Structure 1
Amino acid sequence: MPDPTQLTDRAWLVLGELDLGRARARLASAFPALRLVGYDFTSPGEEHTEAGACWGELVRAETESAAIDIAAAPARAALVRIARDQHLAVVVTRGALDPRAVLACVLDPAAPVPETGGQVAAEILPKMVTVDLPAALRNGQRSGSASTLVRPCPHDVDEADLAAAAAILLSRYRSRPDAELLVSGVRVPVVADEQASSQDLVHHIRQAVAGGTPVPQGTEATVAVTRHRSPREFLAGREIRQVHVSDGRATHELTIALTEDGELRIDYDAGLFDTHDVFVAANRLLAVLADVVADKPVLEISAMAGLERDAVASWSQGVVQAVEDTCLHTLVERHDPEKVALVCGGTSLTYGELNKRANAVAHRLGRFGVGKDDIVAILADRAAESVVAMLGVLKSGAAYVPIEPSYPAERVRHILSDSGARIVLAHGEFESPLPVLDVCDCTGEHTPVRVDPADLAYVIYTSGSTGVPKGVSVSHRSIVVSTHARGVGGPPPERDLVTMPLCFDGAAGGLYWTLTGGGTVVLPTESEAHDPLALRALLHRAPITHIHSVPSHYGLVLQAAGGSGLEELKLVSVGGEPMPPKLVARHLFDCPDAVLLNDYGPTEAAVWATAHRCDIADATGAKIPIGGPLPNYRIHVLDARMRPVPPGLPGEICIGGPAVARGYHQRPGLTADRFVPDPFGAPGDRLYRTGDRGQWSAQGELHIIGRVDNQVKLRGFRVELGEIEAAVRNHRSVVDCVVMLRAAPNGQDQVLAFVASGDGGLTDAELRSEVARLLPAYMHPDRFVVLPELPRGPSGKIDAQRLRNYDVDLAAVS
């Protein structure tokens, strides 16, 4: 059977009544090689005057039938009665036979019979725009089979307007302003300049087309945008008008046409594109087209339809709730002094005892002259004394900076120096250039000092892209707003297991939600946190109602519990790293009555900003959303120009609201870069640019899809790969280093450090020793790959792609 894709097809609207029977009889002798068939799409009281889906199906059927008949007949014609005095004529021919000449014979059998071996009449190339199709739309493979979508288009526009709208829409889809367009057969490089008006872009396209040279006819495009014109003409004494009807074959991946009837018609490869995605893209194109016609500045064109804009605005705003404007420690002081506030190892403190000991710490700090705007370092190991120290610092009016005891000495020295801490609170021995005050030795009655909610509460150091950790400054008001927002999980915890280290900002979420709500914090000791048997004993000793953890550690909790010890569990809140679907499944199996929240929120937004309640669908899905904004938070997904991006497209997650941190401690430049004016809020409001790439789903679910920069979540901590690289380069024999993540066979991310040593004399042990001196254990690479030099491209830059493909046995490190 001949390949239908080698056939040529045309369609015309023929005005005036036709007698199909008489035409067929006369053609039998004049042109016996022609197959002529007829259809009637009308019914009493109903006329089909518009090209609908049935037209495309007809053309497809005619094409397939012609493929069968073509050996016997080089042409096939169909006349379809669509209304009174109106027919759709479809002609399918092979090779050099002119479809127009065949139509002339159909309309007037006395017309000259076309030569089957002659040349095809020259075809006028339609007005066309071609562009690289954005990958964001594709979700399948090329099938060659087309589907059609028709949308009303009320705008009186020409090809240049359409090309400009397509260029702007593509710039939003591709996050780049340039596009290669083929307009009216002329290739036109177009840049959607954000500083220009849209009509400037239209004018540029018109000039380029007028002075350009058409490309050869038949040039195939990934996307074709056409303007179909049907001038009044006559053939064999009848008025005809050429029309565009899809034959079901996808010549291009996507064809966009403006018809003279005021329709936007899109033919698309049904294997590549989902119908809903094409429908959404069509609505966006129409919205952009309206803005182009109105000469709206390119910068102000959002590429979203009106309903989308309303939906995204609604998704971005958390519920506004009243929050008491007070300090964190004030909320803790209000609870029943006889109730147990904290359990850790063999220590149990009531609220009365916790406040009394914290008051003693505040008193001693006051004796040292510590007060408002001062910083106090705390050796924050897993101990009741660490919590006493934190609360005591807050009561003194100062702010604390927590330090993990396992940090390398160099990192501890940097935090102490950079924070400007005046004193260190510890329990037991601790080497420090600053005065060290033992929490256990603090006595005395504290005289309350005035602390304002805007005052600093704590500074937590996170990884720095330049190789130096940076401190995030969080006020009382921010952490109080964040703590209040945790109410989306229900009442405050009764007994909350906080598994995260106290130097990790995630620990503050569970710790303060529990203490401000009058519950009991269950703080595992170091051995209980990592020894499954000890952890299991703790779960049976202190019935847990809530758990705050990172996903990987929560998996250990479930493993240690072994199906028992969590009978009273009501809520589990996890965050800090991607949530594996297998963990959701395990939770639903072991603790079906407990809510599982997948949290998201950087230190700069006071611990958390969104939460998603996991269900059975998340146990089988590939990506688990992070939910919508919590009360009093605003979450935006923005492009580089701070415009909201349409659902389904990636952008940077930006967080607004009163919980946003002050900024980076003693780093005004970095603060100004990441904490920017909020274009959607009141004067003075700020947004934190997280650097996380995210996107809204069509249903309003927020997903994280990567990082804008080189920052990753590693073992529950946010880590700049640049900081690891800086530590490795610190070794005297290291010439250069690149650190990247690679997935091991077990699905876990592994940290690989590719090291250029020059002479190749570096050993794994030497590198590990250097890194251990500078970085905490969670930042250590899993594998060092020592090379004489790192691969570089023609520009001299390191060839990251070659490193990604470098053969490394990840099974050995998994």
Structure 2
Amino acid sequence: MSSRPQPTRQQSDPGRSCHAAAVAVAGDPAEVAARFAAALARRGLDAARLWVDRVPASAAAARRAAELARPLPADGPPVRAVLLRHDGGADLVLVARRGPLTGRALGELAVEAAGAAPPVEAGCGDRPAGAVLEPVGRPEPTAGAAGDRTGTAAGTLVGESAGTVAGEDPGPEEDTAWRGGNPRADRSAAYAFAVPAGTDRLALTGAVGAVLARFGGVRRVRVGTLRDEEPAVVPVAVEGSLRDLAARPADPAPLPAPGPPEVVVGVLAADSPADTYLPSLTPPWPLTLTLRGTTVTCDFRTGVWSAEVVATVARYVTRVLDQLLADGERALADCDLFDDAERDRIAALGGAAVELPEPTGGIHDRVAGWARDTPDAPAVSYGDDRLTYAQLDARAGRIAAALRARGCGPDTRVGVCLERSVDLVAALLGVLRCGAAYVPIDPTYPAERIRYTVEDSRVSLLVGADGVEVDELLADDTGDVTGAPAVTVGPDDPAYVIYTSGSTGRPKGVQVPHRNVLALLAATRDDLGLGPADTWTMFHSSAFDFSVWEIWGCLLTGGHLVVVPHLVVRDPAEFHALLRAARVTVLNQTPSAFAQLVDADRRAADRLGLRLVVFGGEPLDAGMLTGWFDRYPEHECRTVNMFGITETTVHVTAQTIDRGLALAGTRSVGPPLPGWYVHVLDPAGRLLPPGAAGEIHVGGAGVADGYLHRDELTAQRFLPDPWRGGRMYRSGDRGRLLPDGRLEHLGRLDDQVKIRGYRIELDEIRQVLLDDPDVLAVAVTVDTGAEAADVRLHAYVVLADGAGPAADLRRRAARILPEHMVPATVTPLPALPLTANGKLDAARLPAPAARPLPAAREPADTVAGDSRAERMREIWERVLGAEVGPEDNFFDLGGNSLLALRLLRELRAQGLGEFTPRHLYVHPTVRALVGAGATER
């Protein structure tokens, strides 16, 4: 088969280079032919035939439209003339290539040929010299023929015709760009609307540019046009006025190429004396606006634009035109798209005004209620260690009393740095009962990060690590503590402070009150059917806010919480076995972790008993669920994708995913939860219309108190809401609201990334490296890869003279940063590549440096005479993308839990051993792992 590119509809369509005019005709065909020949001669054009056909009056309009839309063949004459005779008169239709005749010249040619006399019924008569009359057959309408496009006074969908995939219905989810189209059903359609008197092409271009800039959240847009009958673009800077726009000439530019076009909107003017004029038979741009008098016709491709969004754009263009024509000096950016009623409607679209029940007391009071109502029901378990609700409440009460005796209570914070266990949950509950807020700290974090969290949060006491142990608290003789707590805790008191990555180089603490957690459960309990019959897992670290949902979502609804051991979290096969053995019904997962579980489930003979899977922490590729639905149909196991932020109390929206949405690859995260709402705003903080992408702002019941000891940062991110009152959180996430109120999440606007569910500020990593006195400059990048396991952080550093090896920098970073934030590689450079503006030019960064072997060891050093070890070492190198020696630590070489699973799968497939993640964590070198396998054999 030839590899030569095939012409596409956009490339090969001759209608893009043709224009057409139509006029009512006076005189018989012979007279029209004579006038037409004379008009051609006066313009120095070659003689052309006048084709004549008689059509029924009922079909005259449709036939006229079809002739207007029928382009000239590439090797045909420069002009085609067709006279359509019918009982109501006659119409002359001229189609020509742009260039030899301008739009006005083509219209004048048509008017001259038509004559001024009223049309009369006549025979063909003799053929005059210079023009040839020929009968013409009835052509089939071509794609793009959408009726008479002279428009109507009000906005109207004039017509629609099939395009590249005629007749195909849109899929269940229109998941394309903000324009709202559907690439699976690309058709041509037209929409007409009225504009104010005095509108010209310049004003229309400026208004279109102002609307597009607001939709795209940018300050400059490119609008297509024709200059001297050739395609061009007009750069529209919204800071300027129409006068400024007039001073900027159009730039020559080719018509849009196939694929996502750079210019998606063009403006044409039908400046012609003809009754009807089409500047282009096939609209040159995905949305082409043609101005004629006070009517604009919008021709659009439905694969890029939906009729609903085109109608919305037309409404906004009209409103902006009113403002620009009233004030020629007005900046385009200052034009308002909405009237008061529409502004209120859009503000309300992102979540209904739902009044949640006013909470009383705190989180621990609800757990105590379950202890009274169902004292013997299982509350929390870790392996064989189990506590009923009565036992959990009693243990938490003793811990609370011991904490109060040590000075902990309201307006204090208690650090909790404990391994996974039932005592971890009891300690968190005990802190709440004593009136304090807990600060969860993952004991696997580096000592320096733990120390920083303790110092920054100013905890009154640390439980675990180097502080007091739970056993000591339980050993205190504090009397009877099974009743109500000695202090009163209200819903507005702080419940916890969770630390997230910070752009200044230091994590920041988010303080969340009891009220928010209680509201989260009130908003989700009934919809998700949460109750005492459910068994949940605590899969995530207590320092990750997903655990707030896991722990309190379970215990506030009377469920059984199964705490997952640290090593089981890292072994999908063991985790699958635990889910089945514990009969877990509610599972909460990041998509990265769930993908590993799905793989383990495929190999397992026994099905799980899950009824609900909740996704969070990172974007979900919904397509990954199609195989899951084969084994767990939607009516048996509900899957819900939830978008949320630590600062807005775990979850904000919820989208139930079915097979149709999974097949469509939906990016919807659903509508806001009851009591939560979202706004999508442009960079100036203005509401954007539905379908436009901007920054997500979250308001309502989940907004946190702010950042601990960071008043300035709190003021920057927690803003007053001018539309609903109260506060909203500026998320830094990009998204758009759909017309039905669902939210689509489109990634980040800044350098923040998500890795395995953790929110990471690249600037924090950069700052940690810059703190080394030998480091002069740093850049940090993310290599996303094809799978979650392939996501790698790479650092590039400029070192001072005499600095040590780059490997020392990574080891230092590993002492400060959590494992998921440590760069896989550190590459020294003589200087960072910069743009002309002095910014990092990431495109010019080289490939990350391969990790060098230690100087003390020869590259060939392996386990002597052991071919199995050599095969294993080769697999390690392939998985890690680095040279590996027998004593190199897998995790020091950039390995992570996801890469560990890939490594173990390959070792198993090559017959090198049935290893588990536990083996690799205990024996993290090739030599040690080979030895472990030999011992087990």
Which TM-score tier does this pair reach, normalised by the shorter chain?
Answer: 0.7 to 0.9
User: Distance in 2 between the 1:270 and 1:39 partners?
Assistant: 34
Q: Which string of whole-angstrom CA distances, capped at 9 and with x for unpartnered residues, describes residues 716-753 of structure 1?
A: 11111111112222334322221121122446422121
Matched, 1:264 2:296: yes
What residue is the counterpart of 1:420 in the other structure? 458
Q: TM-score, normalised by structure 2?
A: 0.72
Count, aligned residues: 755
Task: Give 1:674 shift.
Answer: 0.5
What residue is the counterpart of 2:91 in the other structure? 87
Q: What are the equivalent positions in structure 2 for 1:303-342 lying under 5 Å apart?
A: 310=345, 313-317=348-352, 319-335=354-370, 336-342=374-380
Matched, 1:768 2:768: no
Q: Which string of whole-angstrom CA distances, capped at 9 and with x for unpartnered residues, describes residues 23-66 of structure 1?
A: 4599899999431123456526x874xxxx764531232623xx
Matched, 1:707 2:748: yes
Instruction: Report the AA paired with residue 712 of structure 1.
Output: V
Instruction: Report the AA paired with residue 644 of structure 1.
Output: L
Moved more, 803-812 or 158-167: 803-812
User: Distance in 2 between the 1:648 and 1:473 partners?
Assistant: 33
- Aligned pair in 2 of structure 1 residues 267, 775: CA closer, same or farther (>3 Å)? same
Q: Which string of whole-angstrom CA distances, capped at 9 and with x for unpartnered residues, describes residues 506-531 of structure 1?
A: 11102111111111111112233224
User: Distance in 1 between the 2:659 and 2:772 partners?
Assistant: 49
Instruction: Report the AA paired with residue 23 of structure 2.
Output: L
Q: Give the secondary structure class of the aligned counterpart of 1:647.
A: coil
Say which of 66, 69, 72 aligns to 1:63: 72
Instruction: Report the AA paired with residue 506 of structure 1.
Output: F
User: Distance in 2 between the 1:106 and 1:757 partners?
Assistant: 81
User: Distance in 2 between the 1:76 and 1:327 partners?
Assistant: 82
What residue is the counterpart of 2:695 in the other structure? 652
- Aligned pair in 2 of structure 1 residues 181, 206: CA closer, same or farther (>3 Å)? farther
- Aligned pair in 2 of structure 1 residues 370, 565: CA closer, same or farther (>3 Å)? farther
User: Distance in 2 between the 1:3 and 1:695 partners?
Assistant: 34
- Aligned pair in 2 of structure 1 residues 258, 680: CA closer, same or farther (>3 Å)? same
- Asked if the contact 1:396–1:449 (Cα under 8 Å) also holds between the matched residues in 2, the reply is yes
Task: Give 1:135 shift.
Answer: 8.9
What residue is the counterpart of 1:104 in the other structure? 112
Q: What are the equivalent positions in structure 2 for 1:337-736 lying under 5 Å apart?
A: 337-426=375-464, 430-431=465-466, 438-444=472-478, 445-446=480-481, 447-487=485-525, 488-492=527-531, 494-532=534-572, 534-560=574-600, 562-563=603-604, 567-581=608-622, 583-592=624-633, 593-682=636-725, 685-697=726-738, 700-736=741-777
Instruction: Report the AA paired with residue 720 of structure 2.
Output: P
What residue is the counterpart of 2:862 in the other structure? none
- Asked if the contact 1:253–1:268 (Cα under 8 Å) also holds between the matched residues in 2, the reply is yes
Structural RMSD (CA): 4.2
User: Distance in 1 between the 2:343 and 2:92 partners?
Assistant: 38
Q: Give the secondary structure class of the aligned counterpart of 1:87.
A: strand
Matched, 1:248 2:260: no
Moved more, 570-579 or 557-566: 557-566
Q: Which string of whole-angstrom CA distances, capped at 9 and with x for unpartnered residues, describes residues 643-664 of structure 1?
A: 2323333211111112210000
Moved more, 551-560 or 522-531: 551-560
User: Distance in 1 between the 2:278 and 2:466 partners?
Assistant: 82
Say which of 834, 845, 849 aligns to 1:792: 834
Matched, 1:285 2:317: yes
Moved more, 391-400 or 174-183: 174-183
- Aligned pair in 2 of structure 1 residues 674, 39: CA closer, same or farther (>3 Å)? farther
User: Distance in 2 between the 1:431 and 1:724 partners?
Assistant: 26
- Asked if the contact 1:312–1:700 (Cα under 8 Å) also holds between the matched residues in 2, the reply is no
User: Distance in 2 between the 1:213 and 1:536 partners?
Assistant: 64
What residue is the counterpart of 1:43 in the other structure? 57
Task: Give 1:259 shift.
Answer: 1.8
Task: Give 1:291 shift.
Answer: 5.5
Q: What are the equivalent positions in structure 2 for 1:122-161 lying under 5 Å apart?
A: 149-153=190-194, 155-159=196-200, 161=203
Q: Give the secondary structure class of the aligned counterpart of 1:613.
A: strand
Instruction: Report the AA paired with residue 589 of structure 1.
Output: D
- Asked if the contact 1:283–1:305 (Cα under 8 Å) also holds between the matched residues in 2, the reply is no
Instruction: Report the AA paired with residue 298 of structure 2.
Output: I
What residue is the counterpart of 1:11 in the other structure? 21
Task: Give 1:91 shift.
Answer: 5.0
Task: Give 1:475 shift.
Answer: 0.4
Task: Give 1:785 shift.
Answer: 2.5
Task: Give 1:667 shift.
Answer: 0.7
Extract unaligned runs of 5+ from structure 2: 1-11, 117-124, 132-175, 257-262, 851-877, 882-893, 900-937
Q: Which string of whole-angstrom CA distances, capped at 9 and with x for unpartnered residues, describes residues 471-502 of structure 1?
A: 00000111111122222322336211121111
- Aligned pair in 2 of structure 1 residues 372, 219: CA closer, same or farther (>3 Å)? closer
- Aligned pair in 2 of structure 1 residues 332, 738: CA closer, same or farther (>3 Å)? same
Q: Which string of whole-angstrom CA distances, capped at 9 and with x for unpartnered residues, describes residues 584-634 of structure 1?
A: 234323433111111111111111111111221344344542211011111
Aligned sequence identity (%): 30
User: Distance in 2 between the 1:179 and 1:63 partners?
Assistant: 33
- Aligned pair in 2 of structure 1 residues 533, 170: CA closer, same or farther (>3 Å)? closer
- Asked if the contact 1:744–1:811 (Cα under 8 Å) also holds between the matched residues in 2, the reply is no
- Asked if the contact 1:600–1:626 (Cα under 8 Å) also holds between the matched residues in 2, the reply is yes
- Aligned pair in 2 of structure 1 residues 735, 3: CA closer, same or farther (>3 Å)? closer
- Asked if the contact 1:323–1:484 (Cα under 8 Å) also holds between the matched residues in 2, the reply is no
- Asked if the contact 1:754–1:785 (Cα under 8 Å) also holds between the matched residues in 2, the reply is yes
- Aligned pair in 2 of structure 1 residues 68, 778: CA closer, same or farther (>3 Å)? closer
- Asked if the contact 2:23–2:110 (Cα under 8 Å) also holds between the matched residues in 1, the reply is no
Task: Give 1:564 shift.
Answer: 5.6
Q: Which string of whole-angstrom CA distances, capped at 9 and with x for unpartnered residues, describes residues 184-240 of structure 1?
A: 9899976434xxxxxxx7xx425874xx59779999895543444556xxxxxxxxx
Task: Give 1:373 shift.
Answer: 0.8
Instruction: Report the AA paired with residue 112 of structure 2.
Output: A
What residue is the counterpart of 2:170 in the other structure? none
- Asked if the contact 2:536–2:586 (Cα under 8 Å) also holds between the matched residues in 1, the reply is yes
- Aligned pair in 2 of structure 1 residues 76, 352: CA closer, same or farther (>3 Å)? closer
User: Distance in 1 between the 2:613 and 2:253 partners?
Assistant: 61
- Aligned pair in 2 of structure 1 residues 436, 68: CA closer, same or farther (>3 Å)? closer
User: Distance in 2 between the 1:146 and 1:535 partners?
Assistant: 49
Task: Give 1:179 shift.
Answer: 5.2
What residue is the counterpart of 2:908 in the other structure? none
Task: Give 1:272 shift.
Answer: 6.9
Q: Give the secondary structure class of the aligned counterpart of 1:718.
A: strand
- Asked if the contact 2:16–2:281 (Cα under 8 Å) also holds between the matched residues in 1, the reply is no
Say which of 768, 784, 791 aligns to 1:743: 784
- Aligned pair in 2 of structure 1 residues 54, 415: CA closer, same or farther (>3 Å)? farther
- Aligned pair in 2 of structure 1 residues 421, 399: CA closer, same or farther (>3 Å)? same
What residue is the counterpart of 2:211 in the other structure? 169
Q: Give the secondary structure class of the aligned counterpart of 2:213.
A: helix
- Aligned pair in 2 of structure 1 residues 315, 38: CA closer, same or farther (>3 Å)? farther
Q: Give the secondary structure class of the aligned counterpart of 1:389.
A: helix
